[in-house]
Structure 1
Amino acid sequence: MSFTPSASNHNRAEMYEEVRLWKNPRERERYDNMADVFSIITTLQALEKAYIKDLVEPAEYTSNCQILLAKYSAAFRQLEGEFPKVEDFVHKYKLDCPAAILRINEGRPITVRDDRGNMGKSIAETVSLFINLMDKLKLNIRANDMLQTDVRDLLDVINRMNLIPSNYTGRDKIPKWLNILTNMNAAEEITDDQARQFQMDLEICYNEFNRLLSAG
């Protein structure tokens, strides 16, 4: 019994044929480089989100972030003629990765201390976070989900600044409050006594921070 391929069978076979995106080795290298950059950016975005959610230890985060940034720098250099900035690449391929873009533009893990070139920005951010937290407490805002993010951001920016010495009182007091909030449910509120103590601790840390600025 003989078998004659039908038109439908022939079309189905064509669906499984390999489709090449390149016509020569140079074009293949271009697509390989774009695939590398795409993979690095999406991985970096996932790493940033994992760190924010405390799913990865700071040391592990720092090591992996530095490796990814180094790989990105090498890979993206091959595409600079087509994509002057990482934002151009992200826009063309419709990537949603704001955390990765921020990390790439800063060129260092969030856990690595800031340099003098970014000190002014870090000082402004620190002052803003202190004032925002103290204002919230004065307005009787007590819920964990309204406080924890600012406390975490404040601790992160303090840890990045070379200006702040290791014996700065905020290095003890702020982690203590972050630990308290981390162990609470989102809608759970700190007590009035805790809020009063928190307010006093923030004022002590803020005043000492201002003295450090004056001394510097």
Structure 2
Amino acid sequence: MASHKLLHEVPLFDHFTTARQRETSETLAEIYSLVVVLDQVEKAYLRDCLSGSEYTTIVNKLLAQYKTYLDNDDVQKEFGDLRTFKEKYNISASNAITRIERGMPVTVEHGIRSEQDTSASLSGSAQFSGKAVAEATGNFITVMDALKLNYRAKDQLHPLMSELLLSINRVSSQDFEHRQSLVDWIVKVNKMRVAEKLTEDDARELLFCLESAYKNFYTLLE
């Protein structure tokens, strides 16, 4: 009798569950799996089982999927926030939680260049690529102009700021004054809820940080 019950299929949803509710639950399950996978990728990179370029590609893809899942209002409502989701489902994935909160691969955050980028830099005739410098300069101006045009929301600023950091890394992995402040601002914006906006004081501080980082970036090139 007991063995017969064990063979009985248990339905995942009852008859009162709507298609919309099922879809939301399935998406939450996908997010759960994504967090677990991301944690394993972080550990694999720390153990040197993944190259920097492989790690960066995988993490960027996972972070993009995570953000896409949470674009759905029903999913966002059930998800709440990352810490609540982690505690609700008893997820032990501290590396993944940190990476999602920071919103970028560790290679991007710390300017760790891939083997291909390093080889390209060494083979070039100039110390810094003119194209890379031009892109970084353009991205600095784009973000500063966005703030002056009253861009305050996460979905307006985070993509621009992330692209700025990527373009800076393409120029050089060398540290310079205010680079870390720029990273800290990207993390702060990433932690905002979609409906949140920077205050006027925060926007002014961020603009000052960008202007200072821009000046020091050019000092690096001299």
TM-score using structure 1 length: 0.48
Rg larger in structure: 1
